[in-house]
Each structure stands twice: as C-alpha cells, then as structure tokens.
Amino acid sequence: MNTEVIRQFKIEGNVVEVKPLGEGFINDTFIVRTSSEGPDYILQRKNHKIFPDVPAMMDNIVAVTNHIKNKVSDPLRETLTVVPTVDGKNYCLDDEGNYWAVCILIPDTITYNVADTLELVRQGGIGIGRFQTLLSDFDKPLAETIPGFHNLAFRFSQWDECLRRDAAGRKAGLSDEIYFIEARRQEFLDFWKLIEDGTIPRRVAHNDTKLSNILFDEPSGEVLCAIDLDTVMSSTSLCDVGDAIRTYTSSTIEDDPDYGSVRLCLDKFQAYMDGYLSERRDTLTESEKEWLPFAGLYLTYEQTLRFLMDYIDGDTYYKIRYPEHNLVRTRSQMALLRSMEDQYEQMKQIVKDLL
C-alpha cells in the first residue's frame, strides 16, 4: 500500500512500515510503524458501502472517546485516540473515494478470538460493563451508523427480500438452514418488541462486542478498553451482553467447521456474567436483568441470520476466506444457538444466583 494517505494525518515521525493487521470482516486495517520515539498508529480504510456516512460515524467515535477520556485515569490507554488530518478532519477521503481514519496504537496489548481462561472471560464482562457505565451519562445525539443494526423486524424485511431475490441461486440447497430460521422467527421477534415498546430501555451501546473487539493489557491480562467503535450508537445494553455471550462463552471460534464440537460453556457464561454484573448490578432495570440470558440467544440467532443472508446474497457483506465460508459460519452459529437452547434453564439459574 502507498503511504500517501497516511501523510494526510497529523502523525509524529517518519513511516517505516505499513502492514495489514487482524481479521476484521468489514474494514481493512493496517499497523503503521514510525521512526520516532512517539507512537505507532492504526490506519483503517472504512467500508463506506456498509457505513453510508463515514464522517458522521467518525464524529460519533470522537464524541464518545472524548467523553470517556474525561473520566478515566489513563486516557491514552483506556480508550482509542483518533488522530486528525493536517487540515483538522477526523477522516481523509482519497482520490478513489475511499475513506480512511487513523488512531494511536495502544502498545502492550493483546486481542483474542477464543477465550481460553475463565479469568479472561470475567475481564471481558468487566470491560463491557465499564464501557456502558462510562457512557451512561453521555447525552449528545449519536448518528445511526447502520440503520436497524440489531432490529430483527428490519432484518426480516431484508431476509424476505433476500429469499425472494435468491441472487446467487443458492436457496434450493438450504432448506434445513431456512427452516431453522423460520421456526424461531416469532420467538425472536417477540423479544425485539420489548425493545420497541420500551420494556427494555434504549441506551448508548457498542453493538459489536465480540471478543476480538476488546483490548487486554499485557502482561497483566486485565481488560483495557473496547475498540472498533464504528457501531457505537443508541441501542440496548442487552445487545452488547448478547454479542459477548455469543463469542466469549463458546467452546471455539465463530466459524469452526467441526459443528459437533461447538457449544456454550456454562463455566464461561458464569464468569462473563459475574464480571459484567460486578459493574452493572445496581444500574440495570428489572426487565434488563430478566432478559440477560436470552440476549445471548438473540444475538446468536441474529448473527446466524446475517451470515445465512450473506451466503444467499452471494457473499456481498462479510469478507470470506473460501467460497463456503458464510455457510460454515451459519452452521457453526446454528450449533451454538442449539447448545444455548439446550442449556437455557441453567443459564437463567446462573444469572439468578449471581443477582
């Protein structure tokens, strides 16, 4: 990649290396090493097909991170720091119409795709609970960066259209998967109604709290901060808990093709809820507490639906590494949801005992 774009930003030192980083499904991410004593940087090409208003999204991120910086003891480590361009914008638009943004790389940190210790899982719960608490008094309007992101009623309008179009001609071979979705449709739509009618309150949330979107301090192993703030917007705390349950409590990675080995681990679920509730026990409403375990099922169902839709559409949304990748992701998430359904009574009991 050329370094022209990085020179548009107010960075310290000379660029000595730019290399791809991580496995984000949406944006392209690079690590930028510099020659100076100063920091290294994270450069991202933001996917503007998915985020229709990148400038508004960057305004969200700057507003939220500034709010957090005013409250924490180490503002350069406990949240992201957006680096402006030389002409004072939070993003740069290149000649080909791509949007780019830069933030400071936080050194001595690590991310994970599978949680292998219970302490890591508990730390993750603390991290999301703390993130929500830090933003509980955030009162500026936030742009809706992706309309209807966790709104299942909206997702079903996309689903019905996706099946009607059958863009890649794949629908005929997917009767089991389509049945799996349809058989649960009403149950999960009923949960969304609780959000629409205000039973479950709207709050500022991260909305993409999968395990790999949280930074952990090295070597202490303590949770540091939530990254990948592109989807921060008004939503519900339960959506964050749900996506975390989906990823922290699983026995394996999100796209494990060995479906028989995919399951929710109750000990991880207990550790996650223990960490989360240590931060949020006193600030959740009764209805939020009641629906905490179901949030894990809801987000896993939503994710199954989104992976399957993308497969039927011909892989237009998520990056894939091989042709059947979205189908494997779908089936792996189906196995995880089945395991949650089988253990739902135990999940409820664990939350009850912790409360």
Binding site for ligand GN1 (CB under 6 A): 24-26, 50, 208, 210, 213, 228, 231, 254, 303
Q: Which does 25 bind (CB under 5 to 8 A by kind): ligand GN1, Mg ion, none?
A: ligand GN1
213 binds Mg ion (CB under 5 A): yes
Q: Which does 26 bind (CB under 5 to 8 A by kind): Mg ion, ligand GN1, none?
A: ligand GN1
Closest separation between CB of residue 352 and ligand GN1, Å? 28
Q: Tell me how crowded residue 331 is: count the other CB atoms within 10 A of its CB.
A: 22
Closest separation between CB of residue 183 and Mg ion, Å? 31
Alpha-carbon torsion (301, 304, 135, 354), positive or negative:
positive
Beta-strand relationship, 203-205 and 109-110: unpaired
Backbone torsions φ then ψ of 9, nearest 5 degrees:
-100, 155
- The nearer residue to ligand GN1, 130 or 210, going by C-beta atoms, is 210
The residues, ordered by sequence, that sit 6+ positions from 344 with a Cβ below 8 Å of its Cβ are: 293, 294, 297
Stretch near Mg ion under the rule CB under 5 A, chosen from 21-29, 113-121, 131-139, 288-296: 21-29
List 12, 13, 18, 24, residue binding Mg ion (CB under 5 A):
24
- The nearer residue to ligand GN1, 155 or 268, going by C-beta atoms, is 155
- The answer to whether the CB of 326 falls within 8 A of the CB of 306 is no
Closest separation between CB of residue 228 and Mg ion, Å? 4
Partnered with residue 42 across adjacent β-strands are 31, 103
Q: Which does 210 bind (CB under 5 to 8 A by kind): ligand GN1, Mg ion, none?
A: ligand GN1
Burial class from Cβ neighbours inside 10 Å (0-12, 13-18, 19+) for residue 158 reads: middle
Q: Which residue is nearest to ligand GN1 (CB)?
A: 25
3-state secondary structure (DSSP) of residue 48: coil
